[in-house]
Every structure is written in C-alpha cells, then in structure tokens.
Amino acid sequence: MHPAFSVIGFTVASGAGYGLFILLVLAEVYGFADIDVPVALSSGLLALVLISGGLLSSTLHLANPKNAWRAFFRFRTSWLSREGVFAVLFYPAALLYLIGVYVNDAQPNGLVSFVGLSAVVIALATVFSTGMIYGCLKTIRQWNTALTPTNYILLALATGSVLLVMILAFADKDINAMAGIAIALLALGAIAKAIYYFWVRTVTGPTINTATGFTRAKVRLLDTGHTAGTFLTQEFGYQAPMSLLTQLRVVVFALGFAVPAALLAFMILGLPSGLVALVGVVAMFAGIAAERWLFFAEARHVINLYHGAQHT
Amino acid sequence: MKLGLVIDLDVCVGCHGCAVSCKQWNTSGMTGALTDYNPYGQDPSGVWFNRIRSYEVGDYPNNKTINFPMSCMHCEQADCVDVCPTGASYKRVEDGIVLVDQDKCMGCNYCSWACPYGARELDRSTGTMKKCTLCLDRIYDERLEEVDRQPSCVITCPAHARHFGDFDDPDSNVSKLVRERGGYQLMPELGYSPTNRYLPPRVTRLIPTEDVSKKSLISSVKEWVNKMVER
C-alpha cells in the first residue's frame, strides 16, 4: 500500500494524544503521579493539540473533503464512521474533565473522575476504531488480524505515557512511577510488534491461482492491459526494497522502543531532566513514524495478484 | 433479482472492446465523465470500469493464454458498501447492483481498499469514486429495443464472451451457462460472494507445437546473414 504521510501523521499524533489523555486521567484518578492543575492542563492541552492536528491531517487525503461531514452517519457498519463519531464525542468529555480538574484544584472528586474515565473509554474506543479501520479489511492479510488494533492501542498508550513523563519531568515532579509504567508499556508495545513481524512472514490467504480460478497450474501475468500507471497501481502497487524494510524494522525497535525506555530508566536512576525525556520523545516519535510507514509499505493488497504477484 | 455478468474465458480474445465501449457509454452516463489524464502525452491514464489482463496458465507445452476481463462483481457480501463512512456506496435491494452516489462520496478511497477485484477507481478531477453501474441507465431504458437493454460491454463483445442476466432465475441464460460450464467465482475464500461468474476454458485437444519442420540449409544461411549484416 502507498504510505500516505497525512495518514501516518494522523495515526501517530492522535494516537499519542489519546494515550497521553488516558494516562493523565488514570494518573490523576488513581494517584500514581503527582498531577496538579498546571500539569493536568498542559498535558490535556498537548493531548488535544495532537489529536486535533492528527484529525485535521487525516482530512488531507480526502479527494473531496466538502462531503467529509457525511462521514458520521454510517456508524452501524463502517469503522471509519465509528472512529469519527468517537473522536467527536471525546471532545466534550475531555473538556469537561479538564474544567472539572481546574475548578476542583486537581483534588479527588467522584464526578470529575467519572467524566474523566468516560473520556478514557471514548479515547480507547477511538483508537480501537482506528485500528479496526485497517484490521477489518479482508483484502490485506497483513492488516486483517487482531494484532492490528492491539498494536494501535498499545502504541498509543506507550507514546502517551512517555509524553506524560516528559511533562512531569519539566514540572519537577516525581516521575518514578510514571516512568516505570511507560517502560512497561514500551516493552509491551515492542513485544506485540515483534509478534506481528514474525506473524506477518507466514504467507496465507489468496494466491494468483485463487484470484484467477486456475488452481491446477502455474499462472503468470503476460500483460496488464495498460501502458501507464492506473489508480490501482498507484494506490496498491507500492513496493519498497526489502533492504529498506529490514533496516526500518531496526529503526522501529531502536528509536521507537529501546532508546526511550533506556532514557526513562536513566531518569528513574537519578537523571530527572526534562531534556532527557524530550530526547526520548523525539526518538520515540521517529521510531513510531517508521513503524507506521512500515505498516503501510508492507501491506500488500490482493489486487496485486492480478498484476502478477504470486501471493500477497 | 440478482443481476450480473458471466464471462467466458474460453472465447475472450482480449480485444478490449468491452472496456472501450464501457468507457464510451459511461463517460456520458450517470457517473460520467470518466476522466482521462494526459491523454495525448507520454503516460496516458484514466478511469476505467473494465480492465482486461492476460495470463499464461500452465507450463510449456501445456500452456495457454487467458484473457481476463474484470469489472465490478456486484458482490452479495459487498464490503465496499459496509466500509463506506458516508453512505455514498450502496447496493440496490431490488437488483443487487452496487453503485456510488456521486453527491455523497468524499473520496477517502476506503471502498477501493475493501474491494479485492480492483473494481473501483478514484476520479481525480471530481474527487469521487467511480465504478461499473452494470449500465443501469441502459438496461432499464424502455425506449430501447429489448435486445439493446443490456450492458454496453455485453452488446459490444465481438466474440460473445460476455453474458448478462438474472442469477436468481434458474432458467436465465446466465444461470444455465454457469450450470453447464462450471461457472466459478474469483477468490471465493474471501467470502465476498461475487455475483459475476467466469466460465473456464473448454478442455480441447492439444495443438502440437514441437513438430514444426526443421530449418532448411538455405533458411539457415539467410538467418546467419541477417544476423551478421549491420543495418
């Protein structure tokens, strides 16, 4: 699949935003980090900026954005529609929660916690829907797996947790518990990603034989029937060199998981500097962007079978 | 009613006549125009509802060239309809034709991702998804003669490789053809249950290609001279 930068930017940024908001609420409600009003408001604002920027970026790949408002009405069947509805529902819950925290001076309060936890549920539903947009496609075996929404949720939580540690570090708060959680989430994300990379190597599903119906003999493409590229070759024919894919996997694990986890570990051991956390965040976003690019570049649509691929 | 096409792979000669007539009819039809990009330039491209590809099936000397026309299969389990967030993509209850409402489409490409048969193509000039309509504006046009109320590709095909009809009617020509010739669906394992069926090539006697007569001395000399002389 052709990796569209608007979609990569959207999934990485809004995923991190939802993850940050989820961990902010959980940290405040269950008290595993020292969340005061400035920390809550700056985290909440950063989360909303990331989410909104991501959602706006996602409209860039629409060919006819003037009809985008119609995208909320197919909630019953379309994951894209569900994602849109949850994304919109998230805003009032999130804003109410932040106002509640501000008014209540970040003290534990049943009503505020309830609103916050509702926002958490909606945020999780949004990220799950984002994953299912890809996970529900039977035409792309690399995506059509429960590993896809799992990956989206785990990476959203991991990126969000590292962002929250950064904010806590800049606010001179105790980061130990949050950094520990962030390391655990990074490890979980890395394990899930590793499982995905092993799983995706096994070829299953349609082949050129079932695509053409000639299952008793070898089938080779003689002629595609067109002299230049078509919509199908542009949208689905993207192929990156194998060496680049392998190198990017190293980047994903090194920058996306290992470097931020190592920096967080140093911070726990007594280097509680906001700048260290910022370096971790930058490395992590580079790694996760590479992960998302690979997610698209490695996905092979079954239409490639008609263009000569033996399997997807 | 379950309208669809039967395509006979035994007689398709790969002339692209169906694709061209489809383009002509539908470019002025309900989903037209079907834009051409760079039509007189180096890389002419554009929106087509029909694409014909050619495959070699089997190994020499038991190989065969198969021309393979593909358009929308008007699937019974049409994921392109389910994934559409705006409701632009829909399947008609009365005859099973899958269509795109050009006034609702926002051009997100999601339906084309969900389609395993490459039946949908984005028109970059309008920003909307275009696809085969089974010539809806033709098969129901009562001003036309009965024989002309068929999709453009079916009428045009000079080899009569394409047949149009109602699959729900066991006595229709398409149902009979599927029964008699073992008509099959493409990629049935994905579960889209495409309406369109393909008829496999008939089993025929192999035409020998190895007993071509040996080269004569004079033809070998001619061939050698032709290789040697620079032109």
**B39-58 pLDDT, tens per residue?**
999 999 999 999 999 999 99
CB nearest to A74's CB, from B84, B103, B117: B84
Put simply, the answer to whether A206 touches B189 (Cβ < 8 Å) is yes
Main-chain phi, psi angles of B45, to 5 degrees: -145, 175
Distance in Å, alpha carbon of A7 to nearest chain B alpha carbon: 11
- Report the distance separating Cα B85 and Cα B107, nearest Å: 11
Contact B106 A138 (CB under 8 A): no
Q: What confidence tier does B211 reach under pLDDT thresholds 50, 70, 90?
A: low
Residues of B in contact with A138 (CB under 8 A): 79, 114, 116, 190-192
The pLDDT confidence band at residue B61, using thresholds 50, 70 and 90, is confident
Say yes or no for a CB contact (<8 Å) between A140 and B113: yes
What CA–CA distance (Å, rounded) separates A137 from A152? 15
The DSSP output letter for A72 is G
Alpha carbons A237 and A256: distance in angstroms, whole number: 27
Mutate to test the interface with B, among A304, A306, A310, A311 (most CBs of B within 10 A): A306
Find the DSSP H helices in chain A: 5-30, 37-58, 79-103, 110-135, 147-170, 176-199, 208-212, 231-236, 242-251, 259-268, 274-297, 303-306
- Helix extents (H) in chain B: 17-27, 79-83, 110-114, 136-139, 152-156, 173-181, 217-228
A76: closest CA of chain B, how far (Å): 9
Which residue, among A78, A85, A233, A304, would best test binding to B if mutated, counting the most B CBs under 10 Å from its CB?
Answer: A78
Which element (helix H / strand E) includes B37?
strand B36-37
Residue B53 to residue A306, Cβ atoms within 8 A: yes
Q: Chain B partners of A309 at a C-beta cutoff of 8 Å? A: none
* Mean pLDDT value across residues A89-101: 96
Alpha-carbon distance A223 to B87, whole Å? 35
- pLDDT score for B209: 66
Mean per-residue pLDDT of chain A? 94
* CA distance, residue A40 to nearest chain B CA (Å): 34
Rounded CA-CA distance B168/A42 in Å is 62
Q: Which of B65, B103, B113 sits opposite A222 (nearest CB)?
A: B65
- Nearest-Cα distance to chain A for B172, in Å, is 24
Q: Count CB pairs under 8 A between chains A and B.
A: 182
Which residue in chain B is spatially nearest to A81 when comparing CA positions? Answer: B85
The pair of three-digit structure tokens given for residue A119, joined into one six-digit string: 């926002």
Report pLDDT digits (tens) over A58-88. Answer: 888 899 999 999 999 999 999 999 999 999 9
**Does the beta carbon of B83 lie under 8 angstroms from any beta carbon of chain A?**
yes
Least confident of A117-121, B32-36, B58-62: B58-62
- Taking the CA of residue A170 and the nearest CA in chain B, the distance in Å comes to 40
* Residues B66, B78 contacting (CB under 8 angstroms): no
pLDDT at B13: 95
Distance of residue A95 Cα from the nearest chain B Cα, in angstroms: 26
Kindly identify which residue of chain A lies nearest to residue B65, measuring between CA atoms.
A222
What 8-state DSSP symbol labels residue A253? I
> Mean pLDDT across the stretch A158-179?
94
Identify the closest residue of chain A to B191 by CA–CA distance.
A138
- Tokens 């079932």 locate to A210
CB B65 within 8 A of CB B82: no
CA distance B42 to chain A (A): 8
**pLDDT tens across A237-284, in order?**
998 899 999 999 999 999 999 999 999 999 999 877 889 999 999 999
Contact A139 B59 (CB under 8 A): no
Query: In the prediction, which pLDDT does A107 show?
Result: 85
For residue range A134-156, list pLDDT tens digits in order: 999 999 999 999 999 999 999 99
Contacts of B35 (CB under 8 A, 6+ apart): B46, B47, B123, B124, B125, B126
Pick the residue with more confidence: A2 or A96?
A: A96
Those of residues 96-135 in B touching chain A at CB distance below 8 A are 103-110, 112-118, 121-122, 124, 126-128
- Torsion over CA: A223, A229, A230, A234 (sign): positive
Angle at which helix A5-30 crosses helix A176-199, to 10 degrees, equals: 140
Please tell me the number of Cα atoms within 13 Å of A167 on its side-chain side: 27
DSSP conformation letters of B121-148: EEETTTTEEEE--TTHHHHT-TTS-GGG
CA B61 to centroid of chain Cα atoms = 28
Query: B188 in contact with A at a CB cutoff of 8 Å?
Result: yes
CB B100 within 8 A of CB B112: no
Q: How do residues B128-162 score in pLDDT, each as one tens digit?
A: 999 999 999 999 999 999 999 999 999 999 999 99
Is residue B77 within 8 Å of residue B193, measured between CB atoms?
yes
Q: Are B88 and B129 in contact (CB under 8 A)?
A: yes
Q: Closest residue of B to A82, CA-based? A: B85
Which three-class secondary structure state does DSSP give residue B17? Answer: helix
